[in-house]
Amino acid sequence: MNFFRKFSFLLICVYIILLPLIPQEVVFKGVTVTDFILALIIFLYVINLLVSKSGRGSFKEGIIDFFTDKLSIFIAVLLGIMLLSTLYATDKGLALSESARFITYIFLYFIIKYEFNNKKHINTLLKCYIFISTVLCCIGIVQYFTGFALNKTFIRTYNAGVIRRITSTFSNPNAFGAYLILIIFPVIMLSIYEKNKNKKILYILLSMLMFVNVVMTFSRNAILGLGLGLLVLTLIYSIKWIFALGGFAILISFIPSVSQRIKGTVDLHQNELRIKLWKTALYMIRDHPIVGVGNGNFVTRYNEYVSKYSELKYYEYKSYPNHNSYLKLQSELGILGIVSFLGIITMTLFRIKKLYSTTRDKFYIPFYTGVMASFIVFFFMNLSDNLFFVPKVTTYFWLILATAEAIRYKSHKSHEQ
């Protein structure tokens, strides 16, 4: 592996670790530090193509596969619609910005799948992911007991008392909870499958640490996601998980502040804002069913619709996001946008299922079985939040998907040879 390729892979590992740690406010020459690292990764990848014949060969094979593979065709179509929407979006800058962000996910996906797809690379990437998740959970514990770097907005008084809704290094508890949902079930499955005693204990402790952090976010979405994930694992792994599901329900009922948050899920008064936001999206879909209002432009057009329809108004809220990824996509990108997005979701679940069902690798079987539960829950959570559009969260969705696709691609190439 030449210098440019080695350095590029090292930077990907650095990017995985630093992305959630460095605040977006930290910039280098007008660009966030993590975006600068990502740009450098892409730059080194291009340089490698220029100096390495084997690199050019891998790139050519990757391009051919990308535009003939069903999953990546859906990805490419979604990107195409995003870019096209910049022509008619009210805020063209915002449409282009969100499209550019999606392009970065595709670059990361492409580079991992077609360039860094051997077992050593994949394992290193996943270990970096588990490592940074451990660090974030430790920060979360410290934050809960000390209030360290916690916005006062998330220190609230409920009937059960004052609680701190931890965010770790994320912007809000919901985002941190979603991040943890993506990793907790793979780690739980590793703790069950692992035969090495020391590693097993480590995975068990990490599972417990993540579980506690999810609960301490007091995110209704994430806590319900824990229960749904356990149900999914019951269905795809073992009926014995029904006891874990029952234990989870009992635990929640004994924590007043948590059970109170869960009960709020069906409280129409607490969900009034979200209901009005969803109704606003439906009005936009009705008015722009084919092409939508433009990528990212729900926020831009929100004030216009609130002014036009008084029943959509919620106090003095202005330029507010949608809180539903599916309604956001359909209102912004129209029918083709939502169809291509649902195509990505469908193909993703199909590929993950096939991977953990056919692989013989003792690490990949439990990890991607857990990923199946995490992805199903993550897709569910996007019904009440825009988690697909939170970079510190969704980057790890694309990372996991890229590693799964890299394993699949490498396996197919090996069989062809």
pLDDT attached to residue 316 = 78
- 66: pLDDT confidence band, cut at 50, 70 and 90? very high
Higher pLDDT, 272 or 186: 186
The per-residue pLDDT for range 291-318, each reduced to its tens digit, is 999 999 999 999 999 999 988 888 778 8
The per-residue pLDDT for range 342-386, each reduced to its tens digit, is 999 999 999 999 999 999 999 999 999 999 999 999 999 999 999
Residue among 169, 274, 276, 291 at smallest CA distance from 221: 274
Residue 129 has pLDDT above 60, yes or no: yes
- 162: pLDDT confidence band, cut at 50, 70 and 90? confident
Helix (H, G, I), strand (E, B) or coil at 337: helix
Question: What are the Cα distances from residue 95, in Å, to 43, 98, 189?
Answer: 24, 5, 39
CA distance linking residue 155 with residue 257, whole number of Å? 13
CA distance linking residue 412 with residue 99, whole number of Å? 31
Which tokens in the block code for residue 88? Answer: 């008619």
Report the pLDDT averaged over residues 240-249. 72
pTM score above 0.85: yes
Report the pLDDT averaged over residues 108-117. 96
The per-residue pLDDT for range 2-23, each reduced to its tens digit, is 888 899 999 999 999 999 999 8
CA distance linking residue 332 with residue 285, whole number of Å? 8
The per-residue pLDDT for range 204-241, each reduced to its tens digit, is 999 999 999 999 999 999 999 999 998 999 888 887 77
Which tokens in the block code for residue 266? Answer: 């069906």
State the average pLDDT for the chain: 91
